[in-house]
Structure 1
Amino acid sequence: MIRRAFIKAVLFAVACAATAPIPAGAAELWQTLPPTPAPVATGRHAEVNGIRLYYVDTGSGSPVLLLHGGLSNSDYLADVARALKDKHRVILVDSRGHGRSTRDGRPFGYDLMADDVVALLDALKIDKAAVVGWSDGAIIGLDLAMRHPARVTRVFAFGANTLTSGVKDDVEQNPTFAAFVTRASGDYTRLSPTPGEYDAFHKQIGKMWESEPNWTDGQLATIKVPVWIVDGEHDEAIKREHTETMAKTIPDARLLILPNTSHFAFLQDPAAFNKSVTEFLGD
């Protein structure tokens, strides 16, 4: 979820919340935005990398990190956690400045947020973990696989892009995205330790979206862990050809397109999404 087009969508949706929701009676599942799940458990904060990072630690077994998309928070992936926690130790994270986590004066960047995750793994004494990421969270997962390969066992990258040009130019016209952005603004006010600073938060995230990620094929070719490149059949933001190119460029990556869903497949068809995640994890 990057590029200037999406930034325009954010500004429009926040300013016009009354008109942003999806039209009533939308016929297709991929045109809907179901409610955000309730938190899977109560979380806590870790003092890492100069910020207070909120996380939820639930379940037992091999560790899995769940990383959410830009502007949102870890509650979006709570149902994924519920599906995994009987067999895995699941760590959900609110990325810096998102949800209940704080931020500092450093500019947002995927590398910085990936470093936050590594610092959290250190604090929890977890050597390595599988990563299930959505959108910005998936991009963070790929960054971890390139820059911190010893800390990652595998990456499930849903709705990611590796170049800013991988984002559709008309995403700002999509009512599902507009509804999500409106919801995200309200969530920020409700959850953030700085509820009155959404505009500053959004501006900082916007600067990141304008220029990141922009990885070369050579950088992606360094990824050695198993990777699934996954997207919804009707993703509002990511170009299908870009998703397919990612899968061809990352060594031995698997491509999976989830039918009748969009960038929000984990809300629209949680059974199918969670089945694909459990298959990815080898359960």
Structure 2
Amino acid sequence: MAAALGSRGARRLLLLLSALKPGLHVPRAGPSAAFSSSVTSARVAVNGVHLHYLQTGEGEHAVLLLPGMLGSGETDFGPQIEALNKKLFTVVAWDPRGYGRSRPPDRDFPREFFERDAEDAIGLMKTLKFKKVSLLGWSDGGITALTAAARYPSYVSKMVIWGANAYVTDQDERIYQGIRDVSKWSERTRKPLEALYGFDYFARTCEKWVDGIMQFKRLPEGKSHGLLHGPFAG
């Protein structure tokens, strides 16, 4: 298994800073992005919820695209869905529970939400009858991918991970608290997510996400502050 890790949290920090500084924009496809007719959209029952996914390609190598905070397969991976080689890969871009079109349920953030997302992601690919899968994840999707690989090492073939962090630092906390109020985000960053969710759900879920992430920093004294445990922690 090979894991390609970018500089720690760089992509995540760029996205979060772009929310507050209009000059720093991270492009996202809009929720109504036009895909070719070869892209299918469906929902399937996994672990008691209905998960939405996009699928394209006919290659033997299955690849799951895992979006970041508040993202969906469509908003975060439009260019990859279009451009990845359809003869080499079968590409699946999913919406984690509570995100995108995997609603209901509403998104929540219990202590084990990354583990829950990892189980959902692997469960989705097994439900779709893939024998092995490679994972491409960024931000929260990168953490989910690492968690999934640690739990299912024989099922995960390869990974490409960027913007995933193992710890919540004081600097992270300042940035996360700075994006709690989505009305302060730049319009270009805010509009695609407002279009996807509506303002109220978007704003409420962002606040819950900040609280969910901060619980990792505020674990009882003596316990690890890490988001990841096992072979990928550190």
Assess same fold via TM > 0.5.
yes
Map 1:201-240; keep pairs closer than 5 Å.
201-212=205-216, 214-215=225-226, 219-220=230-231
Residue aligned with 1:150, SS: coil
Provide the residue aligned with 1:228 in structure 2. none
1:85 and 1:153, CA in 2 relative to 1: closer, same or farther beyond 3 A?
same
Q: Separation in 2 of the partners of 1:218 and 1:187?
A: 35
> Is 1:44 aligned to 2:37, yes or no?
no
- Of 128, 131, 135, which residue of structure 1 is paired with 2:132? 128
Question: Any idea what SS the aligned residue of 1:127 has?
Answer: coil
Structure 1 gap ranges (5+): 14-19, 24-30, 222-245, 250-283
2:159 & 2:92 partners in 1: Cα distance? 14
User: Is 2:69 aligned against 1:63?
Assistant: no
Q: Give the aligned CA root-mean-square deviation in angstroms.
A: 3.5
Moved over 6 A (4+): none
Equivalent position of 1:178 in the other structure: 185
The answer to whether residue 84 in structure 2 is matched with residue 84 in structure 1 is yes
- Matched-pair contact (CA < 8 Å) for 1:164–1:211: no
Partners of 2:155 and 2:29 lie apart in 1 by: 29
Q: CA deviation at 1:216?
A: 8.0
CA positional deviation for 1:114: 0.7
Contact 1:63/1:91 (<8 A) preserved: yes
Alignment of 1:189 with 2:197, yes or no, is: yes
Letter in 2 for 1:155: M
Following TM superposition, by how much is the alpha carbon of 1:73 offset from its aligned partner in structure 2, in angstroms?
1.3
Q: Distance in 2 between the 1:165 and 1:102 partners? A: 31
Distance 1:152 1:111 in 2: 15
Structure having the higher helix fraction is: 1
**1:156 aligned onto 2:160:** yes
In structure 2, the residue matched to 1:95 is 96
In 2, distance between residues paired with 1:142 and 1:166?
A: 23
SS of residue in 1 equivalent to 2:27: coil
- The alpha-carbon deviation at position 184 of structure 1 amounts to 5.2
Letter in 2 for 1:165: T
Normalising by structure 2, we get a TM-score of 0.70
- Percent of aligned pairs sharing the same letter: 25
Structure 2 unmatched ranges of 5 or more: 1-8, 218-224
CA pair 170-203 structure 1, distance change in 2 beyond 3 A: closer
- Counterpart of 1:52 in structure 2: which amino acid? H
Secondary structure at the aligned position of 2:96 is classed as coil
- Does the residue aligned with 1:102 lie in a helix, a strand or coil? coil
Q: Distance in 2 between matches of 1:77 and 1:66?
A: 7
